[in-house]
Every structure is written in C-alpha cells, then in structure tokens.
C-alpha cells in the first residue's frame, strides 16, 4: 500500500475525482424526504419497531429545528433534492470475491484489498448508503471483537445496539443529528470485550459516488473495561456539479481503563457539505484520542467532543484542516471535564491557500466536580496568501477553582527567513515552502499509520501546487 501510494486518499485528487463509477443502485428512495421515505428505509432494512419509532420521532425534531446559527452559511444546501437512501447491492459481502465487479473496481483503486491483505485486522467499505464489504480476521473474531456495519449489528446484536444508540448524541442535539437519526444507514459497529487489545488498526472506507446524494452513516464503538482499539477511516467522493451532503453521527464509549484512538482522514471533493457530530465518553482512567484530518469538502463543520466522566480520564484531539479555493473548514473540539484529575489536550493546525478559510471553534468546560483538571489548547494556522483567512473562537467555561487551563493561538505566514535559508541551499521556492509546511504538520503525521502519513503528505503537496508566489 505504501509502494505507489495506493490507499484511499490517493484517488481523490482533482484529476481523479471525476472517476465516477458506473453503478446503478438496485433500490433508491429517490430525491426528497418525508415520513414515507423513512418508512421505506426502515422496511428495506427490516428493522425492529423501536428503531422505526426512533426514526419518525427524529424526523419531527428535524422539521422543527433550525440550521445552526453559527459558522459557515448552510443555506445553499437543497435538503429537498437530496437522495437519502441508495442501495448498491443486495447483501454485505464477507469475502472480497463476492463483491459486485463494478464496486470491486472502485475499492481496488482506493486500496481496500491491499489494506485488508497487508496488515489490517479488519476492513469494511461503505458505498453510498450501505456497507458492501466487511471482513474481520479470525484471530480477533475469536477474542470476541464484533466488527460489522451498523445495519448488520442491529439485526445480529439488537440489545447491544439499543443499549447505546443515541445515548451520547440524541436527535435533539442539532438539526443534522436529527436528520441522521431519521435516515441513518450503514456506518461502523465495533465492540471490544473486557481486557481485549486490538493491536493492529481496524479500518473503514466511505464513498459517495452519485451527485446530490446524502450519506448518513451511524458509527457506534464500545471499548469495554481494560480493552483497547485503533480505528481508522477514510472518506472520498468524485467531483459533481451538484452538491452532496455527508452528515454522520459517531458515538464512542470507553469503559474504565480502556483506550480508543479514532483516526479520520477525509478528502471529499469540493462540492460536499461535511456536517458531522462526533462524541465520546471516557470513564475512570480511560483514554480517548481523536486524530482528525480534513483535506476536502466545500464546507466542513465538525467538533469532536469528549466527556471526561471518570477520575483520571484523559482526552486528546489532534487535527489538521487544509482550506483552498471556495473551501471553508470550521472545525475544532470540545472537552467536558466532569471528574477530578482529568486531563485534555487540543492541538489544531490549519493551512489556508488560494483564498480558503479555516476557523477553529472549541470548548473546554470544567464542572464543579473537575478538581485538579488540566487542559492545554494550541491553535496554529499558516496563511499562504493575502486572500486566505482564519479565526479562532475558543470558549472556556470554568466552574472549579483549582483547575488549570492553557490556550495559545498563532496565525502566521511562511517564514521569510526559513525560505531564504532553504533557497540559499539550492531549493526552489515551491519545494522550500512545501518543506516548511510539512514540518508544520509533523506532529500530526507522526500519529498516523505510515501509509496514511505518506498519503497525507502527497495530498498536501498536491493542494499546494500553484499556491506559492
């Protein structure tokens, strides 16, 4: 996978995003949404009555909830003209050879088979609304790890899904969480039993192929007491003249002494609105890490949160955002300290070029019970030209007297001194600038699996072409 950079992100450059797959869905609810649409989705999935009731209730909340009053302008999204559910195949393939050929070709291009065969514990791929491929190596399966699409989990483990679904993120959280709850499809379900360590990454891929399509995956991860997991996902879409919508909901539960790292690299095309709600809960001595890369989309609004609910819980967020022409990245994190001796770290890095905009929007909150809490926040942005812009919107809500919080923010341009030094050593301006930017991103790339770090560097360099000078 490292060899010629064959993973998911490689195949979403501007020149390759036009590779629209010639796949006709076997079932679609068509454009638009109403109560009948939701009933059709639930019936097609043969869901229990309680899930249909939850969907219908969420739909009513969605109808009565306004768009967010902050951040980027979302009014151009034509919610009445989105295709809310499309099924590309009639089953989830457990073996790679069982995937339909046209879909298989897509995922071969973006590296699913290489990833699965090379080193990954498991791999799942979602195409449009539903998963089309899911596999888990037998050695981890024998330890009791459950890894499948959320639709399959609802059928095979209904009590476990019902216990956790919507308990961290309810439909009333925001308009797009309500929409997701009403029309959700696919996503990842991952359960790690007590004391079990998934030592190699478990990976998922999400692809939007058709124009004016919504993808509403619902991901649910439970790491039981003393367990650990490293979950990695990538997202891609080809270019279209019509806007598409990605509105995911992710809930992660880390039990006492557990550990979870959730890594996302998103390289949507520049006509996708990516509006996500991600939240985790870390119990006593548990650790939750978000590693988040946003390299594409017309608009991104994403603020992964961690409720530090148990004594000694730790949480971290490490993110990068790259915003180019006609792109607005509005990203950040929320750390809610609810118990003594909790610690959190937020490191946010952004690159703006060709008139792009990247904003940081975050919250650090200490409740009265958060004695001796500590939090450190860093926001760094590099502006590549005078047309690009960046703002920071931090909120610190402190209700305890003996916690500590640190916050620093910097917005700068590429250092003239560093450029001069590198050019004096024989490098041209573009190469020198790329080296400086790669050094700026080094804390992020160090946290990625090697092939993802290679891909990230390649994508950043690709985006930077022509933006110097």
The pLDDT tens digits of the residues spanning 360-383 come to 999 999 999 999 999 999 998 988
Q: Which pLDDT score is estimated for 268?
A: 76
Q: Which pLDDT score is estimated for 13?
A: 39
- Counting Cβ atoms within 10 Å, is residue 442 exposed (0-12), middle (13-18) or buried (19+)? exposed
The average confidence (pLDDT) of the chain is 80
50: in domain? yes
Q: How confident is the model at residue 81 (pLDDT cuts 50, 70, 90)?
A: confident
1: in domain? no
Across residues 20-46, what is the average pLDDT? 75
Q: Rounded distance, CA 461 to CA 299, Å?
A: 21
333: in domain? yes
Across residues 41-48, what is the average pLDDT? 92
Q: How confident is the model at residue 20 (pLDDT cuts 50, 70, 90)?
A: very low
Q: Which pLDDT score is estimated for 427?
A: 73
Q: How confident is the model at residue 82 (pLDDT cuts 50, 70, 90)?
A: confident
3: in domain? no
Which has more pLDDT, 208 or 127?
Answer: 208
Q: How many domains does the chain have?
A: 1
Q: Rounded distance, CA 375 to CA 118, Å?
A: 38
Across residues 186-215, what is the average pLDDT? 78
Q: Rounded distance, CA 73 to CA 77, Å?
A: 9
389: in domain? yes
Across residues 188-211, what is the average pLDDT? 78
281: in domain? yes
Picking from 99-103, 307-311, 349-353, 448-452, which range would have the lowest pLDDT averaged per residue?
99-103
Q: Which pLDDT score is estimated for 3?
A: 29
State phi, psi for 447 to the nearest 5 degrees.
-90, -5
Q: Which pLDDT score is estimated for 425?
A: 75
Q: How confident is the model at residue 469 (pLDDT cuts 50, 70, 90)?
A: very low
Token pair, residue 175, equals 């308009």
Which of 160, 45, 137 minimizes the C-alpha distance to 91? 45
**Per-residue pLDDT at 136 exceeds 60:** no
**Per-residue pLDDT at 111 exceeds 70:** no
Q: Which pLDDT score is estimated for 22?
A: 44
Token pair, residue 466, equals 């022509």
Q: Rounded distance, CA 218 to CA 55, Å?
A: 13
| Strands (DSSP E) found in 69-226 | 86-87, 122-127, 130-136, 146-149, 188-192, 202-207, 214-215, 218-223
Across residues 213-220, what is the average pLDDT? 87
**Per-residue pLDDT at 150 exceeds 50:** yes
> Whole domain around residue 103: which residue ranges?
8-464
Q: Which pLDDT score is estimated for 307?
A: 98
Neighbours of 143 (CB within 10 A): 14
Q: Which pLDDT score is estimated for 135?
A: 54
Q: Which pLDDT score is estimated for 453?
A: 65
Q: How far is CA 457 from CA 54, 411, 461, in A?
A: 42, 21, 6
Which of 180, 187, 72, 444 minimizes the C-alpha distance to 294? 444
301: in domain? yes
pLDDT tens digits, one per residue of 119-134: 444 455 554 444 444 5
Determine the 3-state secondary structure of 59 from DSSP.
helix
Supply the pTM of this predicted model.
Answer: 0.82
**Per-residue pLDDT at 109 exceeds 60:** no
Neighbours of 200 (CB within 10 A): 16
3-state secondary structure the chain: CCCCCCCHHHHHCCCCCCCCCCCCCCEECCECCCHHHHHHHHHHHCCCHHHHHHHHHHHHHHHHCCCCCCCCCCCCCCHHHCECCEECCCCCECCHHHCCHHHHHHHHHCCHHHHHHHCCCEEEEEECCEEEEEEECHHHHCCCCEEEEHHHHHHHCHHHHHHHCCCCCCCCCCHHHHHHHHHCCCCEEEEECCCCECCCCEEEEEECCCCCEEECCEEEEEECCCCEEEEEEEEECCCCCCCEEECCEEEEEECCCCEEEEEEEEECCCCEEEEEEEEEEECCCCEEEEEEEECCCCEEEECCEEEECCCCCEEEEEEEEEECCCCEEEECCEEEECCCCCEEEEEEEEEECCCCEEEEEEEEEECCCCCCCEEEEEEEEEECCCCCEEEEEEEEEECCCCCEEEEEEEEEECCHHHHHHHHHCCCCHHHHHHHHHHHHHHHHHCCCCHHHHHHHHHHHHHHHCCCCC
**Per-residue pLDDT at 17 exceeds 50:** no
Q: Rounded distance, CA 303 to CA 282, Å?
A: 17
299: in domain? yes
Cα dihedral 448, 449, 453, 456 sign:
negative
pLDDT tens digits, one per residue of 280-326: 999 999 999 999 988 878 999 999 999 999 999 999 999 988 898 88
Across residues 331-353, what is the average pLDDT? 95
């Amino acid at each position: 996978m490292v060899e010629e950079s064959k993973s998911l992100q490689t195949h979403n450059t501007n020149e390759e995003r036009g590779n629209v797959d010639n796949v006709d869905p076997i079932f679609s609810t068509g454009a638009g949404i109403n109560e009948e649409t939701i009933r059709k989705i639930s019936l097609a999935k043969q869901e229990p009555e309680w899930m249909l009731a939850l969907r219908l209730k969420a739909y009513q909340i969605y109808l009565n909830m306004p768009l967010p009053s902050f951040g980027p302008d979302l009014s151009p999204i034509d919610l009445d003209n989105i295709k809310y559910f499309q099924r590309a195949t009639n089953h989830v393939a457990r073996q790679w050879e069982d995937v339909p050929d046209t879909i298989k070709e897509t995922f071969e291009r973006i590296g699913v088979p290489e990833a699965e065969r090379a080193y990954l514990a498991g791999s799942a791929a979602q195409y449009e609304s539903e998963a089309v491929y899911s596999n888990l190596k037998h050695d981890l399966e024998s330890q009791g790890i459950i890894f499948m699409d959320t639709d399959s989990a609802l059928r095979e483990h209904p009590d476990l899904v019902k216990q956790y679904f919507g308990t961290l993120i309810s439909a009333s959280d925001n308009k797009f969480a309500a929409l997701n709850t009403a029309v959700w499809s696919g996503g990842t379900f991952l359960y790690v039993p007590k004391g079990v360590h998934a030592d190699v990454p478990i990976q998922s891929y999400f692809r939007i192929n058709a124009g004016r399509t919504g993808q509403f995956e619902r991901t649910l991860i439970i790491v039981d007491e003393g367990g650990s997991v490293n979950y990695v996902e990538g997202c891609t879409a080809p270019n279209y003249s019509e806007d598409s919508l990605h509105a995911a909901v992710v809930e992660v539960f880390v039990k006492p002494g557990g550990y979870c790292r959730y890594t996302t690299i998103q390289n949507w095309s520049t006509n996708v609105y990516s509006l996500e709600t991600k939240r985790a809960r870390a119990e006593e001595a548990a650790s939750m890490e978000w590693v988040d890369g946003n390299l594409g989309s017309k608009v991104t609004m994403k603020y992964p949160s961690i409720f530090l609910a148990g004594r000694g819980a730790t949480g971290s967020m490490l993110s990068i955002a790259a915003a180019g022409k006609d792109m607005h990245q509005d990203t950040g994190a929320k750390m809610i300290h609810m118990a003594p001796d909790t610690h959190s770290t937020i490191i946010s890095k952004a690159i703006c070029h060709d008139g792009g905009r990247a904003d940081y929007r975050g919250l650090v909150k200490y409740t009265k019970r958060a004695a001796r809490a500590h939090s450190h926040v860093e926001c760094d942005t590099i502006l590549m030209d005078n047309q690009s812009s960046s703002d920071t919107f931090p909120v610190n809500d402190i209700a305890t007297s003996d916690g500590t919080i640190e916050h620093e923010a910097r917005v700068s341009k590429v250092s003239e001194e560093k450029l001069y030094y590198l050019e004096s050593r024989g490098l041209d301006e573009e190469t020198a600038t790329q080296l400086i930017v790669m050094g700026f991103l080094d804390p992020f790339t160090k946290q990625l699996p090697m092939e993802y770090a290679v891909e990230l560097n390649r994508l950043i360099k690709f985006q930077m072409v022509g933006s110097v000078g």
